[in-house]
A and B are shown apart, each in its own frame.
Chain A
Amino acid sequence: MITRFLWTGMGRNLRLFVLLVLAVGIVVPALNLLMPKTSAFYVPAYALQLIGKYLCYASLALAVDLVWGFCGILTLGHAAFFALGGYCMGMYLMRQIGARGVYGNPILPDFMVFLNYPELPWFWHGFNHFWFAAAMIVIVPSVLALALGWFAFRSRVTGVYLSIITQAMTFALLLAFFRNDMGFGGNNGMTDFKDILGYSVQADTTRAALCFASALALAIFLVISGAIIGSRFGTALIAVRDAESRMRFLGYRAETYKLFVFVLSAAMAGIAGALYVPQIGIINPSEFAPGNSIEAVLWVAVGGRGTLIGPVIGAFIVNFAKTYLTGALPEVWLFALGALFIVVTLFLPKGVVGLWAQLRARNLARKATAA
């Protein structure tokens, strides 16, 4: 029954796209590990890391789109869920350092020794186990989303007010995590990771595995999202997005539909953040910066809101441009971002995917008239 649910929900395009994502996740690490460095097909380590990072961003974009594109909630705080997942992973990685830290304390991470912590804070317990950290990566963002969504959706907060609440949430977390006495390393965050599951985070094989894991996670998220949107639940969800009160008069509890997707989306963002942190080697409060959440919304807008493939494409296009421009012309990036936003809102309301569909439709129409 589950397989039927997962498979029938997906259209042909989505199935192909999922296979493409998996192919990237296999081929890129393989070319890094197997090709000689002199080969034209060799993928250098920095490119591997970059693609792994983009894959995590793509998962975040998909999470944003589930909420924005399919529930109609313009979330301006989704990077908070991403960062919380990242922090949970960071805590695990910190505890794996053990006595190899600068201060050589077997229990306390360096920053705690430095700040004269007498003992490990209670909320750090358990994070030495991977299974515990893995559970928290899902639970912490989900619980926050559940609490926020519960109050907001039940009191029928919508539109710009809801956007402001999500933005306020990430901003509050930003300020909180900046504080040294919160116990998460203050503004320096956590870094100098050594091992994950016993493997060195610096090793090529580990990096390759993390890149693959990011692609696998994205593929799974796409399959789950496709199945949900393609189900009768998805039909109801889109109806809630378009005419919430009408659905209530038909007997649907609109808030539970939104809440389920909001929580699921937060969990996805958390997992994406957790995969992101070991690949870039650091987590700090700047991940909570409001700008990050807004950028994620932009990826979705560029790729195509309300489609499942669009956010992934958008995340890759915008981040590729960002990587290129911040390297080649650093002062231009912010202007380019602003210009991109204007172009997309004015000329590409349905993003790149929408444009593609439009061009194809026009082509078909032309063929039809020619024939």
Chain B
Amino acid sequence: MKTAPRSTSALLYLSGVTVSFDGFKALNNLSLLIEPGEMRAIIGPNGAGKTTMMDVITGKTRPDEGEVVFDGQADLTKLDEAHIATLGIGRKFQKPTVFENHTVRDNLLLALAGLRSWYKLLGAAPTRAENNRLAEILSIIRMEAQQHMLGARLSHGQKQWLEIGMLLAQNPKLMLVDEPVAGMTDVETETTAQVLREVNKSHSVVVVEHDMSFVRALGVKVTVLHEGSMLAEGSLDQVSADPRVVEVYLGR
């Protein structure tokens, strides 16, 4: 089933997206709509296709079928990762990946929105505005003390924070955040929810998370994925009450 691209006000619009790996459908006719300024939580059991959905949006995986439209115009299925990133889509990975041989500060500097072209970077020194922004982000993620530490020496939780900081530095229109609180303490989890709510004031956010108390703390609309399709959508209380959701996910 194919629908023509709607002229939509949606920031992100997925329609009929299917991805198969050797016949196995990781995404099966998935449709999703994110409004500008919205924060959406995506939940679903292991293997539901949450990460694959992010791979499709960021250009890592090409869908076999379906449309992915960003900002009402850009067809993301035709663009590569770097192009999509410069359109304003940032991503935090499920497995935190920071640059191990770079300091926390250099990690953030690399992520900082702005210079990407190789020949301009040859002669550029960080500007005052860039340094100020780095200081701001370091304070939001509470890593001022570690700013000169190499990425390789950070704990798992610190890497998670650094990744969130890199997302902030990138300042994208849409943030895709894959399991941000895995490996964090309860206090850190609560702080992360606060940070994301704060970030959501100026950015649209899609968060994938298993941690239900975290999703509850976010207090936003929830989409439940199951076997590559959308199973339910609504507030956390609504979807928790849905018998199909209970069966595949919450009831276990």
Residues in A lying within 8 Å of B, measured CB to CB:
1, 5, 228, 231-233, 235-236, 238-239, 242-243, 245-254, 256-257, 260
Task: Give CA–CA (A232, B97) in the complex, Å.
Answer: 20
Tell whether B106 is near chain A: CB-to-CB under 8 Å.
yes
With contact pairs A248-B85, A250-B85 given, residues A231 and B121 touching in the complex (Cβ less than 8 Å): yes
Proximity bits, B70-86, A CB within 8 Å = 1, else 0: 00000000001110011
Identify which of B86, B106, B166 contacts A235 (C-beta below 8 A): B106
Identify which of A232, A242, A252, A254 contacts B100 (C-beta below 8 A): A242
B99 touches A239 (CB 8 A): yes
Chain B nearest Cβ from A182, distance in angstroms = 36
Task: Give CA–CA (A253, B166) in the complex, Å.
Answer: 18
B116 touches A252 (CB 8 A): yes
B91 touches A232 (CB 8 A): no
What are 22 of the A-B contact pairs (CB < 8 Å)?
A1-B123, A5-B122, A231-B121, A232-B109, A232-B122, A233-B118, A235-B102, A236-B110, A236-B121, A238-B99, A242-B99, A245-B60, A246-B93, A246-B99, A248-B85, A249-B60, A249-B91, A250-B110, A251-B86, A251-B170, A252-B82, A252-B116
Given contacts A228-B122, A249-B58, A253-B116, list 10 more A-B pairs with CB under 8 A: A231-B121, A231-B124, A236-B110, A239-B99, A242-B99, A248-B81, A250-B111, A252-B82, A254-B82, A257-B118
Of the candidates A236, A239, A248, A249, the one having the most CB atoms from chain B within 10 angstroms of its own CB is A249
Chain A nearest Cβ from B194, distance in angstroms = 25
Task: Give CA–CA (A232, B134) in the complex, Å.
Answer: 15
Q: Among residues 30 to 72 in chain B, which have CB atoms less than 8 Å away from a CB atom of chain A?
A: 58, 60
Residues in B lying within 8 Å of A, measured CB to CB:
58, 60, 80-82, 85-86, 90-91, 93, 97, 99-102, 106, 109-111, 115-116, 118-119, 121-126, 166, 170
A228: chain B residues within 8 A (beta carbon):
122
Of the candidates B91, B100, B109, B118, the one having the most CB atoms from chain A within 10 angstroms of its own CB is B118
Task: Give CA–CA (A260, B93) in the complex, Å.
Answer: 28
With contact pairs A245-B60, A248-B82 given, residues A232 and B121 touching in the complex (Cβ less than 8 Å): yes
Chain B nearest Cβ from A9, distance in angstroms = 10
Task: Give CA–CA (A260, B110) in the complex, Å.
Answer: 19
Chain B nearest Cβ from A226, distance in angstroms = 13
Task: Give CA–CA (A23, B128) in the complex, Å.
Answer: 40
Task: Give CA–CA (A249, B97) in the complex, Å.
Answer: 11
Chain A at the B interface: mostly helix, strand, loop or mixed? helix
With contact pairs A236-B110, A250-B110 given, residues A243 and B82 touching in the complex (Cβ less than 8 Å): no
Identify which of A231, A251, A260 contacts B85 (C-beta below 8 A): A251
Identify which of B82, B99, B126 contacts A251 (C-beta below 8 A): B82
Task: Give CA–CA (A236, B206) in the complex, Å.
Answer: 27
Q: Closest A residue to B81 by CB, please name it.
A: A248
Chain A nearest Cβ from B164, distance in angstroms = 14
Q: Closest B residue to A306 by CB, please name it.
A: B101
B115 touches A232 (CB 8 A): yes
Task: Give CA–CA (A250, B93) in the complex, Å.
Answer: 12
Of the candidates A228, A232, A245, A257, the one having the most CB atoms from chain B within 10 angstroms of its own CB is A232
Identify which of A233, A252, A253 contacts B122 (C-beta below 8 A): A233
Task: Give CA–CA (A256, B126) in the complex, Å.
Answer: 21
Task: Give CA–CA (A246, B96) in the complex, Å.
Answer: 10
A251: chain B residues within 8 A (beta carbon):
82, 85-86, 116, 170
B80: chain A residues within 8 A (beta carbon):
248
Chain B nearest Cβ from A233, distance in angstroms = 4
Task: Give CA–CA (A236, B110) in the complex, Å.
Answer: 7
Identify which of A5, A235, A248, A253 contacts B110 (C-beta below 8 A): A235
Task: Give CA–CA (A273, B96) in the complex, Å.
Answer: 44
Chain A nearest Cβ from B99, distance in angstroms = 5
Task: Give CA–CA (A243, B82) in the complex, Å.
Answer: 14
